[in-house]
Structure 1
């Protein structure tokens, strides 16, 4: 599994992430998407499964980090 920083506008689109070397820190606006951990699709994009989409939605709606989803800190 690899870490990907959120660099776009749509958390459910793999092209809106950038592969990073390690889990990123997340300064800035609070409780916004920061990063996720997923399998690399071979083109340095995350594989966003239905389960991972559900985790993204849950994290954003409840403003909590998930196992594979990291939000910007409060």
Structure 2
């Protein structure tokens, strides 16, 4: 799996709003999605499965990053 950072003011559910990263990006905070770890769709964009989207929701609600979701302060 690869790391993808969410572009500034991007939509976390739109794969086009992510940029492929060479390593895990530094993200600190608890308010917004910063990056995800996901499969590459072949066009350097993440495959946002329903399971990953649910993990994103849980991370935001609990204000706690997870295995595949990194958060940052707003």
Which bin holds the TM-score, normalised by the shorter protein? 0.7 to 0.9
Tell me the C-alpha RMSD between the 2 structures. 1.6
In structure 1, the partner of 2:52 is 52
How many aligned positions are there? 72
Structure 1 unaligned blocks of 5 or more = none
Could you list the runs of 4 or more consecutive aligned residues of structure 1 that deviate by over 3 angstroms after TM superposition? Answer: none
Query: d(CA) in 2 for partners of 1:58 and 1:10?
Result: 17
TM-score (normalised: structure 2): 0.87
TM-score (normalised: structure 1): 0.87
Query: d(CA) in 2 for partners of 1:56 and 1:13?
Result: 13
Instruction: State the Cα distance separating 1:10 from its structure 2 match.
Output: 1.3
**Deviations 1:28-57, CA, capped at 9 Å, x for gaps:** x75211100000000000000000000011
